[in-house]
Amino acid sequence: MRLTLQTPLDMHLHLRDGDMLKNVAKYSARDFAGALIMPNLTPPVTTIEAVNEYKKRILEACGDENFTPYVSLFFKESYTPRFLEQAKPFISSIKLYPNGVTTNSEGGVTDIDTKRLSPIFEAMSELGIPLCVHGETDGFVMDREREFGAVYRKLSDTFPKLTIIMEHITTKESVELLKTHENLYATITLHHLLITLDDVVGGLLNPHLFCKPIAKTYEDRAALLTVALNAHEKVMFGSDSAPHPVSKKECCGCAAGVFSAPIALSALAGLFEKQGKLTNLQAFVSDNARKIYNITPPKKEVVLEKTEWTVPAAFDSVVPMFAGQKLAWSVVSQ
């Protein structure tokens, strides 16, 4: 049994920089036609020059693969409408991080004041630049995304022409926002479709499944599965694949992030087939994203075959999701 995906896209990807970029970029470039690359480096990507230089390093790390990196700017309160106009040809979105809520988010926004930040959001609306948001407060860890819903509602109502992407949603409340606010969209990760908090801390702690936003309840996962498996037009795949060296995961103070890039399409094919929704995978991993972001990536066919394989213990010293486990589908050609 074979499945051919046309131009699969990963609309939320961390490739890091330096040696880590060189180690992991090839796995996304092999299986995907393109990806939206997150800008939370150290220092973050905040200038046009930094965007272009980072894109150049990504393409070098991808070698000869047919892969398009769509690079995002790290949201800064100092951006002006003139700067945004100049940046538009080089970027695909701007990523807003509340200060300190996740990896390398220091220097993010401390107060998302719609009045004070109105010039930026209005300019983005007019220029058609999507706003991607890591939607968490600094409250109790299980409530952070739910609490941030009020911010999404205010942004959506105040700037109705602004395309707002709720990144890596994890709760049923976020799913409901898709239905009530026309300009809200969302990415959903592989791991949030498959795990709950039980898988992370219900037995022995599994550091390689620890991520932010943290995995939630069975009810929350069911809501995500409903919209993803049915390829709801306002959701798209974003792996949030976030590699860390073993020394940063298997330690006290474990870093947040699940490395799923090398196994994402295989695992998604297994999930969608098991639920009788395999024909919807194309829309979830490509068609919806192209419409939401209004992009036309180069054509690329990725063929998967129902052939069982065992996920390696590590890919270039980075431990992946499902390490040592068997998956039913394999990527066989690009």
Catalytically active residues, by annotation: 240
3 within 8 A of 266, measured Cβ to Cβ: no
CA gap 166, 220 in Å, rounded: 15
CA gap 185, 155 in Å, rounded: 13
Tell me the residue ranges of DSSP E strands in 214-328: 235-237, 301-305, 309-310, 326-327
- Take residue 8 and report the two structure tokens written for it: 């699969």
CA separation (Å) from 157 to 162, 195, 203, 248?
Answer: 10, 32, 42, 40
CA gap 280, 199 in Å, rounded: 26
54 within 8 A of 37, measured Cβ to Cβ: yes
CA gap 291, 94 in Å, rounded: 18
260 within 8 A of 191, measured Cβ to Cβ: yes
How many CB atoms are closer than 10 A to CB 219?
10
Strands 93-96 and 309-310: unpaired
